[in-house]
Amino acid sequence: MRNPKLKSFLAPTLLSLAMFAGATQAAAPLRPPQGYFAPVDKFKTGDNSEGCDAMPAPYTGPLQFRSKYEGSDKARSTLNVQSEKAFRDTTKDITTLERGTAKRVMQFMRDGRPEQLDCTLNWLTAWAKADALMSKDFNHTGKSMRKWALGSMASSYIRLKFSDSHPLAQHQQEAQVIEAWFSKMADQVVSDWDNLPLEKTNNHSYWAAWSVMATSVATNRRDLFDWAVKEYKVGANQVDADGFLPNELKRQQRALAYHNYALPPLAMIASFAQVNGVDLRQENNGALKRLGDRVLSGVKDPDEFEKKNGKEQDMTDLKEDMKFAWLEPFCTLYTCPPDVIEKKHGMQPFKTFRLGGDLTKVYDPSHEKGNKGS
């Protein structure tokens, strides 16, 4: 530019334009993958509704729970039946809230009965107003329950928030109360799980990151989104060249099951990041793909894991179709080979409350009415 006066006049204008463009770009609201925008299937009336179950009492006590692996050695792989029962008894109301929310949101998205929606929002609003699950008095199992519950609720809620049927349009007050609670709980989850040493960063951290990712979209908070992406990268960078996770290999006979358990949150985070312009597929040379392939190969031949850590693998968990729900987001991120697609179709629909309900309906709707439930 030859005219220096014009140049000095234009420079701040151009700079502010560039900044404005950057701000506009950064301010694009966070959104979930396309399947979450699906409208309600049909709006039914009449009295065939399944009613609203009694609401579980909002859990406001200390998050101090016994671990189902109590008394186990460092590998945390031997189930303690007594402490598992104690754990299930004390966390029953929380799990009832998680399962109930996912179930009724699925029913509402199918049938559109207003009482199904009212029931869900009443439950969530009551827990939010009670400041449930926010205790600062917690142990490892307690903070684990907090992030699992947040992930379940926020990912179910997203179905309502983004549906093209706009079911929350007449419920703005409840939505505000619920989202403020999710937001506050996500801050606590970040505090619970942030900056752990690598040797303590395992599937729990990935599930914490998934709960924060789901909340970031439910509440449109970019800071939470960024934290979930950061934690994903920590997880992806733990995957070795052969697709193994060192901290899950330590789980002895349950190593393969825990590798599989690490996949749902990682695949969901990558899927949500992708639609918001952050491509995590290539992180650590395609770590997520490597991990998924390793698990699928291990399911066919568990000896691969036995050779790696010296323990014959317990395959009990891997006989449940629902444990492979991660295939839905995974096969939209990567091109799955025909045998994997066939396996996926044979197991559908995938319904799992910890990921917000029916993932097949979200990611592969043409197969959601398959013959086989899970």
pLDDT tens per residue, range 192-208: 999 999 999 999 999 99
Reported as a pLDDT band with limits 50, 70 and 90, residue 370 is: very low
CA distance 334 to 315: 26
Between residues 116 and 78, the one the model is more confident about: 116
Residue 188 pLDDT > 90: yes
Closest listed residue to residue 133, CA positions, set 152, 119, 147: 147
pLDDT of residue 66: 85
214: Cβ contacts below 8 Å, ≥ 6 apart: 150, 151, 154, 155, 158, 268, 272, 356
- In sequence order, the 6+-apart residues with CB closer than 8 A to the CB of 294 are 242, 243, 244, 259, 304
- The token pair that represents 176 in the structure block: 């505000």
Q: Is the pLDDT of residue 142 over 50?
A: yes
Give the H or E element holding residue 351: strand 351-352
Q: For residue 69, what pLDDT is reported?
A: 67
| Range with the largest mean pLDDT of 41-50, 64-73, 218-227 | 218-227
Q: Is the pLDDT of residue 237 over 50?
A: yes
Using the predicted structure, report yes or no on whether residue 180 has a pLDDT greater than 60: yes
User: Residue 70 pLDDT > 50, yes or no?
Assistant: yes
pLDDT at 268 over 60: yes
Q: What is the mean pLDDT of residues 313-323?
A: 97
Instruction: Using the predicted structure, report yes or no on whether residue 78 has a pLDDT greater than 70.
Output: no
| pLDDT value for 372 | 41
What's the length of the chain? Answer: 374
Confirm if 209 and 231 have CB atoms less than 8 A apart: yes
Question: Mean pLDDT across the stretch 45-56?
Answer: 81
Task: State the chain's mean pLDDT as an integer.
Answer: 91
Model pLDDT, residue 82? 82
9 vs 3, 4, 30, 243, CA distance in Å?
Answer: 10, 9, 36, 56
Q: Give the per-residue pLDDT at 371.
A: 39
pLDDT in tens, 153-174: 999 999 999 999 999 999 999 9
157 vs 146: CA distance, rounded Å: 16
Q: What is the pLDDT of residue 20?
A: 53
Q: How far is CA 43 from CA 110, 114, 371, in A?
A: 8, 9, 24
pLDDT at 141 over 70: yes
Radius of gyration of the chain (CA): 22
Res. 7: pLDDT tops 60: no
| Each residue's pLDDT tens digit, 95-114 | 999 999 999 999 999 999 99
Q: State the pLDDT at residue 236.
A: 98
pTM above 0.85, yes or no: yes
Q: What is the percent of the chain with per-residue pLDDT over 90, rounded to a whole number?
A: 83
Q: Which residues of 289-315 are buried (b: 16+ CB within 10 A; e: fewer)?
A: bbbbbbbbebbeebebbbebbebebbe
